[in-house]
Amino acid sequence: MQRENAGCLHWELAKRRHPAMLPASMAKGFDLSKLNGPQREAASTHQGPVLILAGAGTGKTRTITARIAHMVSSGIAPGSILAVTFTNKAANEMKERVRGMVARGAASKLTLCTFHSLCVRLLRRDITKLGYKSNFTIYTGSEQTGLIRRILVRRGGRDLKIEPGVVIAAISSLKNRGVGPTAEEDPFLHMVWEEYEREKRALNAVDFDDLLVLGSRLLEKHSETASYWGERFRYIMVDEFQDTNRLQMDLLRRLCGTEHNVCVVGDDDQSIYGWRGAEITNILRFERFFPDPKVIKLEENYRSTMPILQTANSLIRHNTGRREKRLWSRNSGEEKVRVVLLPDDREEARFVISGIEAGHYGEGMKWESFAVLFRTNRQSRLFEEELRERRIPYRMIGGQSFFDRREIKDVLAYLTLMENPDDDIHLLRVLNTPPRGISTKTAEEAIAVSRERECSVWRILCTGGLGDRVSARATNAVAAFVEMIVEFTEASRENAAAAIRGLLERIEFSDFIRRSCKTPEEANSREEAVESFLGDLDRHLETHPKAGLRGFLDSVALNGDRDNDDDLEKKKGVSLITMHAAKGLEFPVVYVSGVEEGFIPHKRALEDGSLDEERRLFYVGLTRAMKRLILTVCITRNKWGQQVGCQPSRFLDELDPEHVESADFQSFEPPPLEADQVGTEVKSILAMLQDIEDVDLR
Ligand code: ATP
Ligand code: MG
């Protein structure tokens, strides 16, 4: 026994002293031979700070996953390993990769998640220490908008011409930088913010930014909490570190304790969340917080062909203040990057989807090999239409949320009430949905009384607090509502799925949906959405019995894009994806659509002067491609029913012409139009194409 322990100790010491010198064959169980030298060094250095700074596609994520597997196989308890990344999709990808490398029992003990879901865990355990109740609700976009709109109307009247979205963005941006507007700087914003914070507190709700703020505060102010998590997570990794903002960096520092077994991986050229306060300087400042790190550089790109890589390199070189990298690839590749000009956005969708169809049927590529990238959600509609028409399977990533559907929000509101009836926003949403005789006036009275008495609307309704301010009929309707919620809340303790089904039946939700839809198709689609959502709930309760309804509501709030593991597995097909959501992913064939001024760079970015960040976003888009990269540019686009002229993106001028071929769509598209099919309209478009090509493209 003693000898064994001594052996272990020896092994540990050897690793600490010469981690990089451990030959791959000595790594118990896990084979590091599939990594290159520097990757192996990173994967086998488990103690102390490690900084991996490397370009796109050089295997950063692969190194992190291999490192986790190697740690587990060297005897580190999987429960003490935490890997954090930025999107649910990336976290799921990482889980998927790790699952293939370690035993199932060990995999389930690892914590691989986003910063936000990590904070939810911290807060569910200890938020009472900060004066909140532990059944808090997480507000996502629409609830936040609802609350801010209410405050704006209250403070500025109905004619106030301020969009809630603008206020939310301003507050979020300041919060993420760890500062606030002072009353002198912007009195109105200051007042709205204060009221917003106060109301959330009263509603026992937190928004996405609060998760980080409160998580960090908890660790800062409560040393027992900090030491609990510090002991729990002794090995921490962060992927996509370039996108951490100040709050996340604070959290990381507080979580790391004194051991500093932290490994971060990032690429300064891919920092694309400046608007959320991400601080590219964090990556450059890492050494200050975690002294004497082992710095590892990765330069071989395994993802893309040389023409794709060189094109991306030629673009990013135009940014200033970056660390120069020498990325190279063994894959010389045969195809150049294509820039294709299309007469309009409908043609663009047709061209892209035809190309995908040809690749699938002609070259035998799977539908999953293709991705269409775009900058804004509204660009996706025509692609979706074209795909549906041709019956090509597809999945939408980072687009309009399933949870933003009206009927799903109603069901969610009822479920939330079963957990936290003090949440006014959700309560008010369903107070009269479906209509049950509780008028807007009654609701307004209830809000007014709740404000006077400084308690939630639910309290007022429960305690008959409306008195004779409303009619006897309204009083009865309110009492019936309260009784129903109490009944099903109790039932939900036993079985939440059965409770919500019972409630929906009681309120005849299905009939309500049918009545409120214009067509039977719409009604069917909405009913199906509810069924599918309830199916999600069933599955969740079955697979996570301990987490229960609260866990389900958390995961809905955190997985706004509904990309949970099961879902991703099930959804096959062409990926339609925003450039932001594409980070970290790769596809054999990538179409970047709408490479035009106003999209990329985005017009808002031009006003803000964040051109460099736009260039990085475009760089992220280009570097997703493995074999084939096609950029499409429209000459006109339909905007609000009118054809509006577009300008090719200035970034196209920055691409190295050696690796790029540009042409109008017909030269790339089989089959070509016959001469007699070419009408005058098409001829004039071709003439325009010629002009633009001469002026704007090399
Ligand atoms: P990004 O910057 O886009 O996040 P990344 O640096 O995280 O990229 P990965 O996604 O880990 O890169 O790897 C890119 C591709 O290269 C993956 O398909 C991965 O499997 C492959 N790869 C990485 N390292 C190696 C290696 N040593 N040998 C073979 N393939 C590798
Ligand atoms: Mg990665």
20 or 403, higher pLDDT: 403
Task: Give all strands (DSSP E) within 344-405, no chain letters.
Answer: 370-374, 394-397
Same domain, 576 and 666: yes
Please check whether residue 423 lies inside any domain of the structure: yes
| Tens-digit pLDDT profile for residues 500-545 | 999 999 999 999 988 887 777 778 878 888 888 898 899 889 988 8
Q: What is the pLDDT of residue 94?
A: 86
Nearest ligand atom owner, CA of 303: 1
Provide the 10 A C-beta neighbour count for residue 634: 25
Which residue, by CA, sits nearest to atom 8 of ligand 1?
57
324 or 651, higher pLDDT: 651
Q: Given the CA of residue 584, which atom of ligand 1 is nearest to it?
A: 4
Q: Given the CA of residue 585, which atom of ligand 1 is nearest to it?
A: 3
Please check whether residue 447 lies inside any domain of the structure: yes
Provide the 10 A C-beta neighbour count for residue 625: 28
Task: Give all strands (DSSP E) within 243-365, no chain letters.
Answer: 262-266, 294-298, 337-342
Q: What is the pLDDT of residue 399?
A: 54
Q: What is the pLDDT of residue 581?
A: 86
Report the separation in Å between the CA atom of 578 and the middle of ligand 2, taken as the mean of its atom positions.
17
What predicted TM-score, i.e. pTM, was given to this entire model? 0.77
What residues are labeled active site?
A: 60-61, 239-240, 270, 624
Q: CB within 6 Å of ligand 1 — which residues?
A: 34-36, 39, 54, 56-62, 267, 270, 302-303, 584, 586, 623
Q: What is the pLDDT of residue 181?
A: 67
Asked if residues 574 and 387 have their Cβ atoms less than 8 Å apart, the reply is yes
Q: What is the pLDDT of residue 277?
A: 67
Nearest ligand atom owner, CA of 38: 1
Q: What is the pLDDT of residue 224?
A: 93
Which protein residues have their CB within 5 A of the ion that is ligand 2?
60-61, 584
| Ligand 1 probe mutation, 62, 243, 369, 627, most atoms within 8 A of CB | 62
Same domain, 476 and 545: yes
Report the separation in Å between the CA atom of 658 and the middle of ligand 2, taken as the mean of its atom positions.
28
Which residue, by CA, sits nearest to atom 24 of ligand 1?
59
Answer whether residue 648 shows pLDDT above 90.
yes
Least confident segment among 516-525, 616-625, 635-644:
516-525
Q: How many CA atoms lie within 13 A of 179 on its CB side?
A: 9
Q: What is the mean pLDDT of residues 293-322?
A: 93
Q: Using CA atoms, how far apart are residues 156 and 167, in angstroms rounded to an integer? A: 13
Q: Using CA atoms, how far apart are residues 685 and 341, in angstroms rounded to an integer? A: 10
Element (H, E) at 219: helix 208-221
Same domain, 53 and 108: yes
Q: How confident is the model at residue 487 (pLDDT cuts 50, 70, 90)?
A: very high
Asked if residues 617 and 272 have their Cβ atoms less than 8 Å apart, the reply is yes
Percent of the chain surpassing pLDDT 70: 86
Please check whether residue 686 lies inside any domain of the structure: no
**CA distances from residue 552 to 26, 30, 141, 556 in whole angstroms, order as listed:** 42, 34, 18, 6
Q: Given the CA of residue 63, which atom of ligand 1 is nearest to it?
A: 11
Which residue, by CA, sits nearest to atom 25 of ligand 1?
59
Q: What is the pLDDT of residue 402?
A: 61
Q: What is the pLDDT of residue 306?
A: 96
Same domain, 417 and 390: no
- 164 upstream amide cis, omega within 30 of 0: no
| Tens-digit pLDDT profile for residues 132-158 | 888 888 987 778 888 888 888 888 776
Q: Identify which of 198-212, 231-245, 376-390 has the greatest average pLDDT.
A: 231-245
Report the separation in Å between the CA atom of 57 and the middle of ligand 1, taken as the mean of its atom positions.
5
Percent of the chain surpassing pLDDT 90: 48
Q: How confident is the model at residue 665 (pLDDT cuts 50, 70, 90)?
A: low
453 or 569, higher pLDDT: 453
Q: How confident is the model at residue 689 (pLDDT cuts 50, 70, 90)?
A: very low
Q: Given the CA of residue 240, which atom of ligand 1 is nearest to it?
A: 4
Q: Using CA atoms, how far apart are residues 193 and 181, in angstroms rounded to an integer? A: 9
Same domain, 547 and 573: no
Which residue, by CA, sits nearest to atom 16 of ligand 1?
302
**CA distances from residue 516 to 412, 512, 513, 528 in whole angstroms, order as listed:** 18, 6, 5, 15
Same domain, 445 and 473: yes
Q: How confident is the model at residue 23 (pLDDT cuts 50, 70, 90)?
A: very low
Q: Amino acid letter at 354? A: S
Q: Given the CA of residue 56, which atom of ligand 1 is nearest to it?
A: 2
Least confident segment among 39-43, 274-278, 470-474, 676-680:
676-680
- Round the average pLDDT of the chain to a whole number and report it: 84
Helical residues (DSSP H) of 364-495, grouped into ranges? 380-389, 406-419, 424-430, 440-453, 457-462, 472-494
Q: What is the pLDDT of residue 396?
A: 81
From 522, 539, 558, give the residue that closes a domain: 558
| Ligand 1 probe mutation, 265, 301, 303, most atoms within 8 A of CB | 303
Report the separation in Å between the CA atom of 5 and the middle of ligand 1, taken as the mean of its atom positions.
37
Same domain, 483 and 547: yes
Q: What is the pLDDT of residue 50?
A: 95
239 or 90, higher pLDDT: 239
| Residues 6+ away with beta carbon under 8 Å from 683 | none
CATH of the domain at 604: 3.40.50.300
Q: What is the pLDDT of residue 107?
A: 87
Q: What is the mean pLDDT of residues 347-364?
A: 95
Which residue in 601, 95, 17, 526 sits closest to 318, CA to CA?
601
Q: Using CA atoms, how far apart are residues 439 and 445, in angstroms rounded to an integer? A: 10
Q: Using CA atoms, how far apart are residues 402 and 555, in angstroms rounded to an integer? A: 13
Q: How confident is the model at residue 28 (pLDDT cuts 50, 70, 90)?
A: very low
Provide the 10 A C-beta neighbour count for residue 586: 17
398 or 548, higher pLDDT: 548
Answer whether residue 333 shows pLDDT above 50.
yes
Answer whether residue 64 shows pLDDT above 90.
yes
Q: What is the pLDDT of residue 401?
A: 55
How many domains would you assign to the chain? 4
Q: What is the pLDDT of residue 501?
A: 96
Same domain, 327 and 239: no
Q: What is the mean pLDDT of residues 189-198?
A: 89
Report the separation in Å between the CA atom of 265 and the middle of ligand 1, taken as the mean of its atom positions.
13
CATH of the domain at 525: 1.10.486.10
**CA distances from residue 593 to 338, 353, 630 in whole angstroms, order as listed:** 12, 12, 8
| Residues 6+ away with beta carbon under 8 Å from 106 | 72, 78
Least confident segment among 8-12, 428-432, 561-565:
8-12
Same domain, 520 and 459: yes
Answer whether residue 91 shows pLDDT above 50.
yes
| Tens-digit pLDDT profile for residues 312-330 | 999 999 998 787 888 899 9
Q: Using CA atoms, how far apart are residues 466 and 476, in angstroms rounded to an integer? A: 11
Please check whether residue 440 lies inside any domain of the structure: yes
Please check whether residue 209 lies inside any domain of the structure: no
Report the separation in Å between the CA atom of 485 and the middle of ligand 1, taken as the mean of its atom positions.
51
Q: Using CA atoms, how far apart are residues 66 and 42, in angstroms rounded to an integer? A: 9
Same domain, 24 and 73: yes
Q: Which residues of 262-276 are buried (b: 16+ CB within 10 A; e: fewer)?
A: bbbbbbbbbbbbbeb
Q: Given the CA of residue 62, which atom of ligand 1 is nearest to it?
A: 11
Same domain, 386 and 419: no
Same domain, 473 and 372: no
Q: How many CA atoms lie within 13 A of 295 on its CB side?
A: 10
Which residue, by CA, sits nearest to atom 29 of ligand 1?
302
Which residue in 408, 332, 389, 299 sits closest to 36, CA to CA?
299
Please check whether residue 211 lies inside any domain of the structure: no
Report the separation in Å between the CA atom of 239 and the middle of ligand 2, taken as the mean of its atom positions.
7
Report the separation in Å between the CA atom of 617 and the middle of ligand 2, taken as the mean of its atom positions.
15
The range of the structural domain enclosing residue 37 comes to 2-122+216-300
Q: How confident is the model at residue 276 (pLDDT cuts 50, 70, 90)?
A: low
Q: What is the pLDDT of residue 681?
A: 41
Please check whether residue 511 lies inside any domain of the structure: yes
Q: Using CA atoms, how far apart are residues 414 and 234, in angstroms rounded to an integer? A: 40
Please check whether residue 631 lies inside any domain of the structure: yes
From 558, 580, 611, give the residue that closes a domain: 558
Q: What is the mean pLDDT of residues 230-242?
A: 93
